[in-house]
Amino acid sequence: MKDIHQIRPKIVERLREVIDPELGVNIVDLGLIYQIFPEDDKLRVDFTTTTPGCPLRRFLHQQVEKALQDIEGIGEYEINMVMKPDWKVEMIKEGVVFFAVPPPPRK
Contact flag: residue 82 with another protein (CB under 8 A): no
**Contact predicate 47/34, CB 8 Å:** yes
* Sheet containing 33-39, strands listed edge to edge, beginning at the edge strand earlier in sequence: 33-39, 42-47, 77-81
Please identify which residue in 3, 9, 40, 53 interacts with another protein, judged by CB under 8 A: 53
Short-list 67, 32, 78, CA closest to 51: 32
Taking the least distance from each CB to another protein, the nearer of 34 and 59 is 59
Contact flag: residue 86 with another protein (CB under 8 A): yes
- Applying CB under 8 A, the residues found at the interface with another protein are 21-24, 49-59, 62, 81, 83, 86, 89, 92, 98-99, 102-103, 105-106
